[in-house]
């Protein structure tokens, strides 16, 4: 299993233990609500059990509340830090990268009300904010910036 960590905080973000795919500058991870302390295999909960998101629980992500203005400020700062890290790696055309990031961040901000926000265990203010969204078919997914991730050997 490949575990992906935030390049700035070192926090565990996602893994390929869940279905994932690349979509533009993101990795999207399929997730679902499961019984807290229950079986991930059945996904069934009785009426008294609380339910949790399987990816959030597995990677110890913490839900956070952000107002749109706060998130936009964080996103601008984060993308600037990410841009510097990508430039240092030297493995991407920066003009293409900037165009893709501009489009992606605009889409996120324009749909701000549709997202839930999560942070890693350290709650590092310079680290990635993980996005949890819902598709039209009621399936949920986690979205993370793929260039903000690293793996450990």
- 53: helix, strand or coil: strand
Q: Which CATH number belongs to the domain containing residue 140 in this structure?
A: 2.170.150.10
Show the domain range for 55. Answer: 3-151
Average pLDDT, stretch 76-102?
Answer: 96
Per-residue model confidence (pLDDT) at position 46 = 54
Determine if the pTM surpasses 0.85: yes
SS3 state at 47 = coil
SS3 assignment, position 62: strand
**Count of structural domains within the chain:** 1
- Which of 67, 40, 62 has its CA nearest to residue 51? 40
Whether residue 38 is predicted with pLDDT greater than 60 in this model: the reply is: no
pLDDT score of 51 more than 90: no
What pLDDT, on the 0 to 100 scale, is given for residue 47? 60
Give the mean pLDDT of the chain: 92
Packing angle, helices 94-110 and 68-89, rounded to 10: 160
């Amino acid at each position: 299993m490949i575990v992906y960590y935030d390049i700035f905080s070192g926090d565990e973000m996602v893994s390929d233990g869940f279905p994932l795919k690349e979509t533009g500058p993101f990795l999207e991870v399929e997730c679902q609500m499961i019984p807290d302390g229950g079986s991930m295999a059945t996904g069934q909960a009785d009426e008294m059990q609380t339910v949790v998101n399987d990816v959030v629980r597995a990677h110890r992500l913490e839900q956070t509340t952000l107002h749109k203005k706060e998130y936009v400020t964080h996103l601008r700062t984060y993308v600037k830090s990410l841009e510097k890290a990508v430039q240092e790696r030297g493995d991407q055309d920066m003009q293409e990268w900037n165009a893709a990031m501009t489009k992606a961040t605009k889409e996120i901000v324009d749909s701000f009300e549709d997202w839930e926000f999560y942070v890693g265990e350290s709650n590092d203010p310079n680290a990635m904010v993980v996005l949890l969204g819902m598709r039209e078919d009621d399936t949920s997914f986690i979205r993370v910036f793929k260039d903000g991730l690293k793996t450990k050997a």
